[in-house]
Amino acid sequence: MPDYWVKITETENEELRHHHYLITAKDEREAKKLAMKFIEHFIDDDENPDKITDGYSFYNHEISVQLSGIKETTKEQFKEFLLKTHTINLA
């Protein structure tokens, strides 16, 4: 089964955060379904999030979490991205 790179955008008080996840699924449709299920439970404390376009809103719309991108990738490409993002290079 192919791997999919899922980009999720979280917005709270106009502060934007990006999250990146890897999902293995039979196709992009299944990957999106799994990502939406994950987003629905993104914040455990809110047991009744509101459905919004491509995501969910939590705590009476104070926090929104949306699927902002999905594309087929490989585990190796995803690891390279994470290493670049989380490596400090002062040279």
Does residue 14 form part of some domain? yes
Does residue 37 form part of some domain? yes
Does residue 69 form part of some domain? yes
Checking if the pLDDT of 91 tops 80, the result is: no
pLDDT for res 9:
98
Burial 11-20 (b: 16+ CB within 10 A, else e): eeeeeeeeee
Range of the domain at 49: 3-85
pLDDT for res 68:
97
- What's the gap between Cα 13 and its chain centre? 19
- The 10s digit of each residue's pLDDT in 64-87 is 999 999 999 999 999 999 999 889
- Side by side, the strands of the sheet bearing 63-73 are 15-24, 3-12, 63-73, 55-58, 50-52
Total number of domains constituting the chain: 1
Does residue 13 form part of some domain? yes
pTM for the whole structure: 0.87
Does residue 90 form part of some domain? no
